[in-house]
Amino acid sequence: MAGTVYLVPNLLGVAAPDTALPARTLDVARRLRHWRVETPKSARAFLKTLALATPIASLDVVALPASPTAADGAALLAPALAGDDVGVLSDAGCPGVADPGAALVGAAHAAGLRVVPLVGPSAILLALMASGMNGQRFAFHGYLPVKPEARAAALRALEQDSRREQRAHLFIETPYRNVALLGALAATLAPATQVCVAADLTLETETIERRSARGWRSADAARFDRRPAVFVLQV
Amino acid sequence: MAGTVYLVPNLLGVAAPDTALPARTLDVARRLRHWRVETPKSARAFLKTLALATPIASLDVVALPASPTAADGAALLAPALAGDDVGVLSDAGCPGVADPGAALVGAAHAAGLRVVPLVGPSAILLALMASGMNGQRFAFHGYLPVKPEARAAALRALEQDSRREQRAHLFIETPYRNVALLGALAATLAPATQVCVAADLTLETETIERRSARGWRSADAARFDRRPAVFVLQV
């Protein structure tokens, strides 16, 4: 019988595993021997926090290719096809959500393997919950353009869509650009448009703030510099 | 000092709490005395699974109004303003995500209260992970129109957007209409468009299947009848 492909969420930073991972996720992760991961070094650091009975060096830990070919997919899934379970792990949060892993999951479905997503932290989902914005209709866009004019145009398009559809829009930024993005949000959006920033989610330094674009004009954005953050806006 | 508003995910069905909730979520939920919930009866059933030290009848459990006014918000948050923590809970999954709670969270931000989202299961997020579709760019639409022509038009619009933007689109349906929706997906979408159905997530009966619209034409859709499910499509 074929093995199962388990999608294992990783912690969002330095935290005790049981702050963000259910016992079932920890139990499955502790018994998996085959891992397909975003970065082997980060994966081993995560596995070390689980206090495994097996030495980590004895595990089969392989980096996911950026764009896996069909041959890559078959090779990476070989243990599952032979009857062993395989874990997919990214460097933080849920594999396949704003992170590598989705292509391998697609290959697993094509091969007829059972895919089981385990529960754990997703910065995107936690930011949406914490924003109090529209969880009935929302969209995640990854990174917005970096160049100021293209970024302003993208923000105006999201704002226009939100005004028309009451949709909440989520996006992320490279942490060293958070302050610049907050400046752009404050300068570009209509004064009353709501903006929520959620940084260091699930960590001791977690900071979640929601105010209007007008409010962000006078807020101290520097506090969000170089902290992993998710941004949410809604008119 | 003001209390904190904790957003507490609920289980997605009958399951042991530690299958889907981290120890931290369980610890916080066990010590909260004030609850603002979608349905008090379901909330008490959830609290019962936590084996609280306090009798459940002694807790302050209040139903969330469908559209809370500012006065409702102030009344519901009164314990937090007075220094006690408050929990927000829906009948399944994450409060505020395809579920009530968001308006109260907005009121909490407006009142300057700290909002803390706890980790737990979200059928939407788990379905996205398990679909292997685009987790870098996705949108959730809640329910599609019920009438066949409007539904077909909505599906074609999502498919067109997905073709242009490589976006994954997620939606839900009232469980007794799952079979009709799968029929509409098979009949309306281009043959190669991918459709994933994720039912009974995190439960023992969890079923996740991804195939092309063409593949769904001959698949046995009746198995998904009356099971809570999330649908994902991508061209």
Q: State the nearest Cα–Cα gap between B41 and chain A, in angstroms.
A: 23
Closest CA to B5 of A131, A120, A228: A131
Q: A69, A98 in Cβ contact below 8 A? A: no
A18 interfaces chain B, CB cutoff of 8 Å: yes
Rg (CA), chain B: 20
pLDDT at res. B131: 98
Sorted by sequence, the CB contacts under 8 Å of residue A138 that are 6+ apart come out as: A128, A167, A168, A169, A170, B139, B140
Sorted by sequence, the CB contacts under 8 Å of residue A8 that are 6+ apart come out as: A25, A28, A29, A32, A87, A88, A89, A95, A118, A120
pLDDT at res. B70: 86
Q: State the nearest Cα–Cα gap between B131 and chain A, in angstroms.
A: 7
| Cross-chain residue pair B132–A102, CB shorter than 8 Å | yes
Q: Sign of torsion, CA B10 B16 B19 B25?
A: positive
For chain A, positions 48-77, list CB contacts with chain B under 8 A: none
Q: State the nearest Cα–Cα gap between B58 and chain A, in angstroms.
A: 27
CA distance A117 to A128: 20
In terms of C-beta density within 10 A (0-12 exposed, 13-18 middle, 19 or more buried), how is residue B66 classed? exposed
Tell me the average pLDDT across B200-209: 98
Query: Which of A103, A116, A132 is the closest to B106 by Cβ?
Result: A132
Per residue of chain A (235 residues), give pLDDT as tens. Answer: 899 999 999 999 999 999 999 999 999 999 999 999 999 999 999 999 999 989 999 999 999 998 888 899 999 999 999 999 999 999 999 999 988 899 999 999 999 999 999 999 999 999 999 999 999 999 999 999 999 999 999 999 999 999 999 999 999 999 999 999 999 999 999 999 999 999 999 999 999 999 999 999 999 899 999 999 999 999 9
Q: Which domains does chain B have, with CATH numbers?
A: 4-117 (3.40.1010.10), 123-234 (3.30.950.10)
**Quick one: how far is CA B3 from the chain centroid?**
26
A157 interfaces chain B, CB cutoff of 8 Å: no
Residue of A nearest to B11 (CA): A119
CA distance A187 to A156: 11
